[in-house]
């Protein structure tokens, strides 16, 4: 399943409605395919989430790290990693 381990896929399946109005995947295989199509990335820290948004030239004026981590596109994996999905 490419570079998305089961923990990442399970978190996406559980929390996908935070970003999308309806479910886009129903099992790990569909989740992996969808994340690949979206070029979703897994980063290892809040700092890397911030760097991702900077590199993507997302307007973060006035934002702090907590605000960025609460963005709909950011899924906390629970082990220090974050999945970023551009919807």
Q: Answer yes or no: is 46 within a domain.
A: yes
- Does any domain span residue 60? yes
Tally the domains of the chain.
1
Mean pLDDT over residues 64-69, rounded?
Answer: 93
Res 87 pLDDT > 80: no
Structural Rg of the chain based on CA atoms = 12
Residue 59: per-residue pLDDT: 85
**Does residue 18 lie in a domain region?**
yes
* Domain carrying residue 22: 6-84
1 in any annotated domain: no
Say which DSSP state 26 is in.
Answer: S
> Is 48 exposed, middle or buried (CB count within 10 Å of its CB: 0-12, 13-18, 19+)?
middle
In a domain, 78, yes or no: yes
pLDDT at 79 over 80: yes
């Amino acid at each position: 399943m490419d570079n998305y381990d089961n923990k990442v896929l399970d978190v996406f399946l559980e929390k996908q409605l935070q970003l999308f109005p309806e479910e886009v995947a129903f099992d790990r295989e569909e989740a992996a395919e969808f994340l690949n199509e979206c070029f979703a990335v897994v980063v290892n820290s809040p700092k890397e989430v911030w760097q991702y948004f900077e590199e993507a030239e997302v307007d973060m004026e006035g934002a702090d790290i907590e605000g960025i981590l609460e963005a709909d596109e950011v899924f906390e994996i629970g082990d220090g990693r974050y999945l970023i999905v551009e919807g």
